[in-house]
Amino acid sequence: MSINAGLEARINSIDGFSSWKHAEKIRFFAWFQHAVKGKQRFTTTDIAACYDELHYDKPNISQFLSAMEKRKPKVFLRSGDSYSLEGKIRETFDREYGTHDITLNIRQQVKDLINCVPNIAEKEFMKEAEICLRHDAGRATIILVWSIVFYHLCQFILMDHLAKFDARIPVYSKKWKVTDLPIIQKYDDFGDEMSEREVIEVCNSAGIISGDLHKILVKHLGTRNSAAHPSSVRIGQLQAEAFIDDLVKNVILALPI
């Protein structure tokens, strides 16, 4: 196991970290020693280990630490051969990067999914969802991810289950006359002819999705509806994370297209 377990996951959640200047990297690595590894103080060896873990070329770490320790206001506080990050700076890093493990895992899942979606429009939606998640915009995250999930479900129907789906529409609902039954041939037809809930219910009735997946989709459609309409309901970071985790695992990764 890495001596800096969790470092790579944290770095992967930060866009452009590799291009940061050495002074910025060292401040982050110092914060990592405190916040993640639980150390009260750290040494140049601890910071060097972070560089080695990420395969980054190392600067003269001692020189950087010494210079920032002497700066006004101070960045580091020194005691013998060890250092600590100044308290106010550490608080700033805590607010910006003090995320928990599930957040890091889900952010990485979202990044990985960008390479799995089939077209540029989908990739852009996933990138925007990742940005929203990173900045704690729970409502926007949920709305964007649901759009991808519903698109994925519709593509799953179109590719392998369209005949079964169309055949079940009149059995499921009597709201349409025989002459007015929806004709589903492409993705846009779903939105033009049926609501998202109707699509989910027909899928369930036709056996295209399992009963358990039906429950998951209905539950999270309700969450999306709450997020999409003005209300006093707050959509927090944890709720957005659970939403993504559930739908990524049970729809996008479970239904091949």
pLDDT per position as a tens digit, 69-117: 998 889 999 999 999 999 999 998 888 777 656 666 666 766 776 666 6
Whole-number pLDDT of residue 252: 86
Judge whether 226 lies within some domain.
yes
- Please identify which residue in the block is written with the tokens 């809930």: 197
Least confident of 36-45, 156-165, 177-186: 177-186
Same domain, 201 and 231: yes
Buried b (16+ CB within 10 A) or exposed e, 73-91: eebbeeeeebbbbbeebbe
Provide the residue type at 132 as one letter: C
**52: containing domain:** 7-97
Instruction: Find the mean pLDDT for residues 115-128.
Output: 71
Domain boundary among 97, 113, 144: 97
Q: How many helices (H) and strands (E) does the chain have?
A: 13, 2
Instruction: Find the mean pLDDT for residues 118-134.
Output: 74
- Residue 76 pairs in a beta bridge with 85
Whole-number pLDDT of residue 182: 81
pTM metric for this prediction = 0.62
Whole-number pLDDT of residue 40: 94
Domain boundary among 73, 97, 121: 97
Of the candidates 2, 76, 93, the one whose C-alpha atom is nearest the C-alpha of residue 41 is 76
Judge whether 1 lies within some domain.
no
Same domain, 137 and 193: yes
Instruction: Find the mean pLDDT for residues 24-49.
Output: 94
- The answer to whether residue 173 scores a pLDDT higher than 60 is yes
Total number of domains in the chain: 2
